[in-house]
Structure 1
Amino acid sequence: MRIQSLAGTWEFRQVGTEKWLPASVPGGVHTDLLALGRIPDPFVGDNEKRVQWVAESDWEYRTSFRCTNGLFSEDKVLLVCDGLDTLVTVFLNGDELGHTNNMFRQYQWEVKSFLHVEGANDLLIKFSSPVKYITEKQTIRPLPGVPQAIAGGPHLRKAPYQFGWDWGPQLPPIGIWKDIRLEGFSAARIIDTKIRQDHNNGKVFLEARVTVERWGNMTLKAVICITAPDGGILKKEIAITTRDLVILKVPIPKPKLWWPNGYGAQPLYQVEVSLMRRDASHAEPLDQQRFQVGLRTIELRQQEDQWGRSFVFVVNGVPILAKGSNWIPADSFPTRITDQSLEWLIHSAAETHQNMLRVWGGGFYEDERFYDLCDRYGILVWQEFIFSCSIYPLDIPDFLENIRVEVVENIRRLRHRACLALWCGNNEMEWGWVEWNWKDSEFQVLKAAYDRFFHHTLSAWCHSEDPDHSYWPSSPSSDTPFSDPNGQRQGDSHYWDVWHGRKPFTSYRNQYPRFMSEFGFQALPPLTTIRTYADETDWNMTSYIMEQHQKNANGNSIMVGQLLDTFRLPKDFSSLVYLSMALQAEGIRYGVEHWRRYPNRVAGILYWQLNDCWPVASWSSLDYFGRWKALHYAALRFYAPILLSIEDTPPVQTVYVSSDLLQTWEGTTKWSLEMLDGEVLASGQAHVMVVPQAATQVCKLDFSDRVSDDNIRRLVFIAELWQGDQLISRQTAGFAPIKHLSLSDPAVRIDLHREKGQLIAELTSQSLALWVEVSLTNTDVVFSDNYFSLPPGRTTRISCPLPPGWSLRQAKKEIHVRSIYDSY
């Protein structure tokens, strides 16, 4: 086999213009125009509105190339396009090869007869406007979708979020968004390899079912080479006789199992499957495929119990508490996502003890880098097919066939992954049919089509292509069509009454889902990020630009309203930004801590959302640039394997310890009732023993006789969890709303020193400091902890890498701290 890349420098132009401009492939029209300075940055100010013409126009890309030596010696030469976005006609040397209408598919054409052996070959790819296409389709057949999007997106197999969402801009890209190349083959090629595992009493067999396409009479063999994590190599080969399917099954000696983050290691085996001439052991392979495999079993266990039916992921026989978040595409323009930025996001999730990401159905199927990283970091993937919050024309045979090819390709691409946990049909569409007033008579035929597709057709495709992973029809769902899809007796749940319904954070404590796959609360991004899109003159929650970077209806008003329910009116915009992040962290903490007190009932918690696709006010814990918001630091604490939490129902304070560990954990809880200045009114301690994967109530303390109208605003309850002389966790709870507390200047003191390239900060305070934020001016660092409570009489030690080129003296000059007291 021979491969000739066609990626690199191309030319492009708007259809109807004469001048060709330089372009990068993979890439897109927006990014190419931006690189040339021909459009303003769509992420700044309201420039999104100024570049709408780009997606409303038709474009064309071209390149000229000579075939590499040896390519024409192959029997077949294919033009392979891994991703064309989206409505495309392809021409080679003036001949039309074909059309495309699905950005999620790979397209191939046999082109040997069209290529010039000598001289240049001209490849021209014409792109039609996706906006014009969906607008025309929507005029003929209106389909409901999200109100923030350009209407008509469901008519086209293109990433839904690119047309706009309640956190994302209307910036649908156009272009060659994945690799493009020529592939040459002789005699035969591999068209599918299905990797499966057989686990039985500690023994593991790895099986490769190899399907080939061949032409001619050459005798062939398939060879599998498995490289173990320790470097050991296993090989097996088998002749391919009359059939075009062969099975290679290899026993794995001393198999090393793959585990989700927090439950064990992630050893990975490298698998190489080669198609060879049978009589030429040292020849180059005719074709070859490579896979990264982790040895593990996984099941979605659903069993009847006292609360309904469980929803538990079980890995290697061990029930897993799924802790994580929802993943959206990391950029509005996918070709800008770098290896470094992608790893930073996945690494940051793993650092906060997350073990699952839900790849939401309004984006796209991620590329191999994403799943490689999830394999490495132990992040299970709830993988959705790309349907979200809309009615799709699933009654059109050609549309269904297009989807079938898309589904089969992506299942085959991902089914071997250690990280893959579940195939899910769509996001919120079943809930939509029940709750979103999709009642018009003309939609009923589409409701029946929905039922057929997501409860029967797609399920059958998944089972046929990947019998080793469970299929779930929608999120949320009860698994019974249109029957209580967002209930809490079975299946998964989305809970949005706090944000959209404006209920208090305490309402989370009335929810007992079997698996909470979505809930969230917004915050502004850090001020450093806001500076990238808004001038200081726009730093007001009601300014035009701030609302342009808030895509949820009334989002800023909801944020401010809830903020004033919790905190005092901030003194300036910087304080408002800080308080919005603290508020978000406080709200999500309420929910997670509550659900972790009931691990036998609630088997998964995924907050919305991990990341952003542009700089915006949103529900994310990591902003567009990967900066940690207060919520991400809070996740470091509330997703910890051992969790100390306080259920505060003043004047009663109840202390819990929750454990994800697979062994019994023992320690000591120390508690105290104190004045804000540190005067201790009462204290105590209790031995704690938590059995594996459980939660225990340590104590329930009623302070009715200690709390009065005179002191209620000056009291704090403090709980600490210790193991020996090591402080594991500290929590605080008040008896009055934070905004009513009689906080005084905590006069936080920071002592800095340097240890082995780390900046060590030891913090103390004279009175209670809440949501203590530590930062370094003009640089981004991640501290070992941040946005924490600091009672007087204690020392909190945190660390971060000393920024390159910084001295300790500079760090002392640039370090800053603030708490709630400093915000008003």
Structure 2
Amino acid sequence: MEKINLNGTWALYYTDPSEDKISEFSQKGIADLGIKAKVPGDVHLDLLNAGIIKEPLYGKNAELCKWVQEKDWWYSREFIVPRDFIKEKADLYFAGLDTSADIWLNGRKIGKHNDMFISYSIDVTGEIKEGKNLLVVRVDPGLRSVKNKVNEDRYPHISSLEKNSSFRMWLRKAQFSFKWDWAPYLLTCGIWREVELRSYKKLAIRNVFVCPDFQQGGKAKLSIFTEVENFFSREVSVILTYTLQGEKKYSWEEEGKIQAGLNSIKKDLFVDKPILWWPHPLGEPFLYSLQLKIIQIDTRETIDCKKEKFGIRKIELVQEPLGKEGKSFTIKVNGEKVFCKGTNWAPADSIVARVSRDKYRYLLESAKKAHINMFRVWGGGIYEDPYFYDLCDELGIMVWQDFMFACAFYPDDNPKFCEEVRHEANIVVTRLRNHPCLVLWCGNNENDWIYRRRVEAGQNLPTFYGGKIYHQILPDVCARLDPTRPYWPSSPYGGEDPNSEYRGDRHHWDVPINIADPIKRVDFSLWLKDKGKFISEYGTFSVSSLESLKKFIPPDELYIGSSAWRHHGNQFEKDTLNTALEFYFGCKVKDITLEDYILLTQFLQAETLKSSLEYFRQRKYRCSGALIWMHSDCWGTISSLSLIDYYLVKKPAFYFVKRAFEPIIITFQEGKKDELCLWIVNDTLKECRAQLEYGILNLANSKIIYTNVVQIIIPPNASLQVADLKLSPGTERESLVFAYLKSNKEVLTSNRYFPTKFQFRKLKLPKIQTIRRQVKRISKDVFSLTLWTDKFVWGVCLNFPEEVELNDNYFDLFPHERKEIMLRGKEEKVNQLKIDTMNTLMRKI
């Protein structure tokens, strides 16, 4: 196969919807009329670059961009085809068109497409010509294609989201673009993924699927399923060569005859002592590379070649009886149970075409550093860029992959719609099934649960529209095209109650959203009572950093409650943050500065996530996963649920989660009256032999009230209670519990517990006069920062210019303990360090 890359600069022009310009534009293009456009891209970005609109995600500018959805958007470009490029077969390949599109080549209409999620390939054999060619694409966001299909009586609005469109359930388009609680209404449009012209000689390898299976004696059988298309009307005799590159190189050859048309070929390869792909922290994510070549026997010419990366691993979904607690919901990889520590992944930008490779790599490498081993790719977004899955393969991060259906009825009584869904699923499963990171297919986000809730609330909904998709079409496609992974119908799902604590996966949104009473709605101790088997969604709000706020809130509106502030808020927040600050910190919003308000909300998010994650992990494998909503934001937000904001600023919660997700942790659990139990959780496949030192610290005088040391052995992949201690009633405000796990004097992990729990206003924190510091240069632009003090410090906040990278932040300091932080940045930026602490803030409020 040869390719001509058609990415880059195109011409872009918009008109009112009309048939009048089709003849003119399809024949001549719009180069003399339009502005410059970048492909892949989005019309909003091109308008922004041309100065026609302002940044849509700043202030309330998104509301000023609604006119974009009402226009026809015309792209055109010329390209040159060399003489020797034209062979037996040519395809024009669009990796993504958003959403409704018509395509013309050299004045002739060659295609029509209406699905943002999938690629579109057009046979242009005989249409392309040597020399100059003209390609024209008309695209719009898709609304007009479904305007006559809306039937609100048949498919009523069933979610708690604002009702912004009756169209979205009909459109195969990112559902969050119609506005979600955490995202603006902004309908994207454009040629949003790559475009290329492909030329084939005689034969083409259309698809390769590597299906691994473990054999007795330490072997792996790789069943290679290949589709080859023969463009001749006669058979072609070929040699197929398979080259497998791993730690060793393996090669196989076989002769065969390729019949006219599409051929399916299966070849079983056997590998001795294969190196397996593992998610962290169970092992390394080893990847193999397979190269398949087709050589014509009579000419010895290589006709086509295809490479695929894959991993050898086995995935299982285990649901075992747990007595009164119901059934487990556990992912097993290579026969080992995995506690899934992760986040929900939604698109990293409301303008999805704007997410760069650099942004993907930063977000995913940050996840790896935070010990995250699973993303749930949420069903209201997109099937992510191939680079996303490549990185997950490389980093050992598992992917729970939703199909793109979320919080709505979908018209499964419409045969054409069902066929479109089946076609989409075929393409998506085929595209993603070689990625070892992908461990589970899931039919939708919350549709089964929402339907059940509405029926129980008395709403007259005799038919679950969409059920046929999730319970018939999608499982059929997955079973046929990808038998290596489990399929799960919905999230949450399991048992008679789709959101049961006793079966399947669970979304815990009672706190901080669904409970009506405002005080109970912020009772985060309810998280610590949840018996869910796999918490696939939960989280809480915090405000983005002040520097981030300044990037999307106009200066004259940078205050709580302004119009822009509300525009970037979350409809479900419902004054929850203000209630929580008064309840847990004892302060009213009107009495504190904006900076203090931000930091308090961020520490509340961090502390509550920390405690809940430790609780869920301590319950392994009665609970087998906890996925926080959400990893990062798609725009600047006020009531943010993320760990990393839109501008890539890591919130305190990121660092707290990083520590709570370490492979080995200490957790605390309340026992009988005044008793505190200490547990060790070991997520590795190695036994842990260590020394546990624990005790109670008096906050007022920094003296240790009680201490003890025990030798412990924690089995691999286990959670075990190892000690307990008595707390003295009446001393909660002046004390904290600490614990260190050490091996050969090296601290493996540590933790602390406030007896006041989330009632931080009751803590008697010491006054901090100074925190001593020492900065050492390690190498160019790399420094170590060492901090120490003589008192306990809660929440040391290191404030650097955003150009400085650091490996830890928002941590505690214990008396006379030295904490070393690694910094990367220019010396003049490193020297601008300012330190804040929660001790100082709590005394101020």
Pairs within 5 Å for 1:730-749: 730-736=750-756, 737-746=759-768, 747-749=770-772
- Rounded Cα–Cα distance in structure 2 between residues aligned with 1:438 and 1:273: 55
Alignment of 1:461 onto 2:477: yes
Matched, 1:87 2:110: no
Alpha-carbon spacing, 1:600–1:549, altered in 2? closer, same or farther (3 Å):
same
- The Cα shift of 1:608 comes to 1.0
Which shows bigger deviation, 433-442 or 200-209?
433-442
Which residue number corresponds to residue 332 of structure 2? 314
The one of 433, 436, 446 equivalent to 1:418 is 436
Q: Aligned pair in 2 of structure 1 residues 735, 591: CA closer, same or farther (>3 Å)?
A: closer
Residue 689 of structure 2: aligned partner? 666
> Equivalent residue for 2:180?
165
The change in CA–CA distance for 1:136 and 1:533 in structure 2 (over 3 A counts) is: farther
Name the SS of the counterpart of 1:777 in structure 2. coil
- 1:363 aligns with 381
Aligned partners of 1:241 and 1:233: how far apart in 2?
Answer: 24
Distance 1:699 1:351 in 2: 30
Which residue does the alignment assign to 1:138?
150
The Cα offsets for residues 629-650 of structure 1, whole Å up to 9 and x where unpaired, read as 1111112111111111223578
Equivalent in the alignment of 1:238: 255
1:604 counterpart residue number = 625
Query: Is 1:753 the equivalent of 2:753?
Result: no
Deviation, 1:431, is 0.3
RMSD over aligned CA atoms reads 2.3
Question: Equivalents in 2 of 1:114, 1:60: separation in Å?
Answer: 21
**Which moved further from structure 2: 435-444 or 162-171?**
435-444
What is the distance in 1 between the residues matched to 2:791 and 2:524? 26
CA distance in structure 2 between the aligned counterparts of 1:402 and 1:790, rounded to whole angstroms: 57
Aligned to 1:434: 452
Instruction: Please give the alpha-carbon distance, in whole angstroms, between the structure 1 residues aligned to 2:511 and 2:456.
Output: 24
Change (3 A) 1:667 1:721: same
Deviation at 1:302, TM superposition (A): 1.9
Q: Within 1, Cα distance between the matches of 2:360 and 2:802?
A: 23
Paired residues of 2:449 and 2:499 also in contact (CA < 8 A) = yes
Conserved? CA contact 1:27–1:176, under 8 Å: yes
1:743, 1:165 → 2: CA distance? 40
**Quick one: structure 1 residues 63 and 409, their matched pair in 2 at CA, closer, same or farther if it must change by over 3 Å?**
same
| Equivalent residues in 2 for 1:731-810, closer than 5 Å | 731-736=751-756, 737-746=759-768, 747-756=770-779, 758-783=782-807, 785-801=808-824, 803=825, 805-806=826-827
**Cα pair 1:218 1:277 within 8 Å, conserved:** no
| 3-state secondary structure, aligned to 2:180 | coil
Q: Secondary structure at the match of 2:185?
A: coil
Using the alignment, how far apart are the partners of 1:262 and 1:385 within structure 2? 27
The residue aligned with 1:295 is: 312
Specify which of 471, 491, 497 is matched with residue 504 of structure 2.
491
Counterpart Cα distance in 2 of 1:179 and 1:438 = 46
C-alpha change, 1:176 and 1:277, in structure 2 (3 Å) is same
- C-alpha contact 2:541 2:573 (8 A) present in aligned 1: no
Deviation at 1:149, TM superposition (A): 6.0
Q: Following TM superposition, by how much is the alpha carbon of 1:394 offset from its aligned partner in structure 2, in angstroms? A: 1.2
Amino acid at match of 1:130: G
Distance change (3 Å), C-alpha of 1:820 and 1:397: farther
Change (3 A) 1:787 1:474: same
Read off the aligned partner of 1:39 and give its amino acid letter. I
Letter in 2 for 1:275: I
Over 3 Å counting, the alpha-carbon distance change for 1:494 and 1:464 in structure 2 is: same
Aligned twin of 1:99: 112
SS, match of residue 753 in structure 2 = strand
SS at 1:635 equivalent: helix
Q: Does 1:819 align with 2:804?
A: no
What's the offset of the Cα at 1:756?
A: 3.9
Mapped partners of 2:754, 2:90: distance in 1: 71
User: Do residues 729 (structure 1) and 749 (structure 2) align?
Assistant: yes
**Deviations 1:138-161 (CA, angstroms, capped at 9, x unpaired):** 366654256246312111001111
| C-alpha deviation, 1:565, in angstroms | 2.1
Q: 1:26 aligns with which of 40, 44, 48?
A: 40
Deviations 1:771-816 (A, max 9, x none): 2211213434132x22122232322222222x0x326xx6344343
Q: SS of the residue aligned with 1:138?
A: coil
> 1:109: how far off?
2.0
Mapped contact 1:497–1:503 kept (Cα < 8 A): no
Counterpart contact for 1:477–1:485, Cα < 8 Å: yes
Given the alignment, which residue of 683, 694, 698 partners 2:722? Answer: 698
- TM score, norm. by length of structure 1: 0.93
Q: Report the TM-score when normalising by structure 2.
A: 0.91
1:229 matched residue in structure 2: 246
User: May I ask how many residue pairs the two structures share in their alignment?
Assistant: 805
**Partner of 1:62 in structure 2?**
76
Measure, in 2, the Cα distance between the counterparts of 1:656 and 1:256: 33
1:583 paired residue number: 604
1:90-117 per-residue CA deviation (whole Å, 9 max, x = no partner) reads 1222222232111112222222333343
Kept in 2, the 8 Å contact 1:223–1:276? The answer is yes
Once the two structures are superposed, the pairs formed by residues 269-668 of structure 1 within 5 Å of their partners are 269-281=288-300, 283-285=301-303, 287-306=304-323, 307-437=325-455, 443-445=461-463, 447=464, 449-478=465-494, 483-500=496-513, 501=515, 502-555=521-574, 557-569=575-587, 571-617=592-638, 618-647=640-669, 651-668=674-691
**Could you report, residue by residue, the CA deviation over 1:375-414 in whole angstroms, capped at 9, with x for unpaired residues?**
1000111111100111111111111111111100111111
- Cα distance in 2 between the residues matched to 1:9 and 1:276: 37
Could you tell which deviates more after superposition, 265-274 or 568-577?
Answer: 568-577
Instruction: Give distance in 1, aligned partners of 2:160 and 2:302.
Output: 52
Query: CA 1:41–1:793 in 2, change beyond 3 Å: closer, same or farther?
Result: same
User: Residues of 1 paired with 2:351 and 2:81: CA distance?
Assistant: 31
> Which of these residues, 39, 43, 65, is aligned with residue 57 of structure 2?
43
Greater Cα offset, 232-241 or 33-42 = 232-241
1:820 Cα offset (Å): 4.1
Go from structure 1 to structure 2 and tell me whether the alpha carbon gap of 1:414 and 1:697 turns closer, same or farther (over 3 Å shift). same
- On the 8 A contact 2:10/2:77 being kept in 1, the answer is yes
- Deviates further, 416-425 or 683-692: 683-692
Q: Quick one: structure 1 residues 209 and 581, their matched pair in 2 at CA, closer, same or farther if it must change by over 3 Å? A: same
How far does the alpha carbon of each residue in 1:255-284 deviate from its partner, in whole angstroms, 9 at most, with x for none? 211111111112211112233323233x24
1:147 paired residue among 161, 164, 175:
161
Distance 1:542 1:133, change over 3 A: farther
Provide the C-alpha distance between the structure 2 equivalents of 1:793 and 1:768, rounded to a whole number of angstroms: 9
Match of 1:52 among 39, 55, 66: 66
1:174 equivalent to 2:189? Answer yes
1:76 equivalent to 2:99? Answer no
Q: Match for 1:451: what amino acid?
A: G
SS at match of 2:551: coil
Distance in 1 of aligned mates of 2:794 and 2:505: 34
C-alpha displacement at 1:77, in angstroms? 1.8
Relative to structure 2, which stretch is displaced further, 573-582 or 394-403? 573-582
Structure 1 counterpart SS, 2:10: strand
Residues of 2 paired with 1:592 and 1:690: CA distance?
A: 19
Return 5+ residue gaps in structure 1 as ranges: none
Structure-2 separation of matches of 1:778 and 1:370: 25
Stretch of structure 1 that moved more, 531-540 or 202-211: 531-540
Provide the identity percentage.
28
Name the counterpart of 1:191: 206
Q: 1:410 to 1:684 in 2, by over 3 A?
A: same
- Counterpart CA distance in 2 for 1:800 and 1:655 is 33
Shift in Å at residue 62 of structure 1? 1.1
Counterpart of 1:34, as a letter, is: L
Worse overlay, 263-272 or 106-115:
106-115
- Secondary structure of the residue that 2:416 maps to in structure 1? helix
Contact 1:25–1:177 (CA under 8 A) maintained in structure 2: yes
Give the secondary-structure state (helix, strand or coil) at the position aligned to 2:791: coil
SS in 2 for 1:631: helix
| 2: CA distance, partners of 1:438 / 1:95 | 55
Q: Deviations over 1:48-100 (max 9, x none)?
A: 1111211232211111223223233x122222212111111112222222321
Q: CA 1:94 to 1:813, structure 2 compared with 1: closer, same or farther past 3 Å?
A: closer
